[in-house]
Structure 1
Amino acid sequence: MNNKFIKIIALIAILSLVILNSGCVASDEDNVQGELPTSEDNNTADEITDMVQPITSSYSENDSQNTVYAIKGDTILVKLTENPTTGYSWNLTHGDGLKLKEDNYEQQEGTEKLVGAGGFHQWTFEVVDTGEQNISAIYMRPWEEKTGAEDTFKLNVMVLEEDELIKGTGTIAYLELEGGFYGIIAEDESHYDPINLAEQFQNDGNMVEFVAYPRNDLMSFHMWGQLIEIRTITEVSE
């Protein structure tokens, strides 16, 4: 009787071990499944490949006192006329969010052998921080005192976060309002009024893909859609 009881106990113990081991295997499999990428992770990967690419923008004396827009990673070139043979040069300062990468003087092409000929001073900046940045310069002889009559240059740079940009696909539309203008009707029916739509894209009915800065600081007399400044734009084949 005792032997039979012992066998029953042993059988129960064996069955218990089998059940416990099965539970452990199921638990391990659950953990592995939990580490697989979710649909949200996959969407994030897609968003990364769709990130806005950095661009290079160039500015000269003609852009002085203007406000321009950029995002981190962009390159800004400032090119100002200079003639060091006169003793004059540009004394330039810039905001902390702009990293100076290059500072070069270039002789005007074709005047290398001309005594007293001038050229251009060019600065290359990398945009490294968001917020309002600025570039200021004064043209003077370093050993002279400022008089207030010197030529100056100032550029305000508004550096936006990438998620502040407007990105979309839409159709170019010619509106016969206020003398006529071209707008963009996005796929979601949003209306955009670009302040700098290049002539090559001013074709009624064309599909375009664009990235733009919102220009909420400006007022539009068209009263038709949101004012934007085109950053990049490409034509899309239907």
Structure 2
Amino acid sequence: MLMSRYHVLILGAALICLLAVLMAGCTQPTTGNGSPTPTPTTPVAPSQAFDEKDDGKQVTASLGSAFSLHLAENPTTGYSWNLSHSAGLTLLKDEFLPPPTQLVGAGGTHLWVFEAAEKGNQSVHGEYRRPWIPAGTVVFQDLEGGFYGIAGDDGKDYLPLNLDDQFRVDGLRVAFESEPASDAATIYMWGTPVNLTYIEAPQTYDLHVMVT
């Protein structure tokens, strides 16, 4: 009787240990919020590098590959690159590389690394401007004889009363500052009348990427 009870205890302990091992094998490490810990991924090394001389070019990239973009930048002037890209590209790195000198005011290089995540025509667009100054696109409105306005990136339309001829280009990207021209009379029923106090056409960069 004692041997039988002893064997039962041994068998029960063995079953408990086996159950614990099986449960441990079915669980997955979790983060602090209880979500499964993501499996680390190996960074994709860039297989191509582009810079200023590739502005406006059409290039080719294989699906899943990565490429880097290097553009000169000098934040001490207040100017920096404002970059946007199509949904088929994944931004992997965005980093400013300081210059290899201690000279005050020296410029460096801005580095971006993208992964070609979707097939088809993809693009990268950059504007070198001061980020705190509003930006927009000059548009020609074929109304009431035709006129030029600025469609702001803030979603508002501006009707500049003193837009110089050099900026009267449909589709031109501009950075501008303005003051309301509340006392001005205009026949154009479009936008808010303003007087420009500052305007410039920023340097732009475009790279067209065909992902195959």
TM-score, with length taken from structure 1: 0.43
TM-score, with length taken from structure 2: 0.48
Q: Which has the higher contact order (CA 8 A, sep 6+)?
A: 2
- Answer with 1 or 2: which has the greater Rg: 1
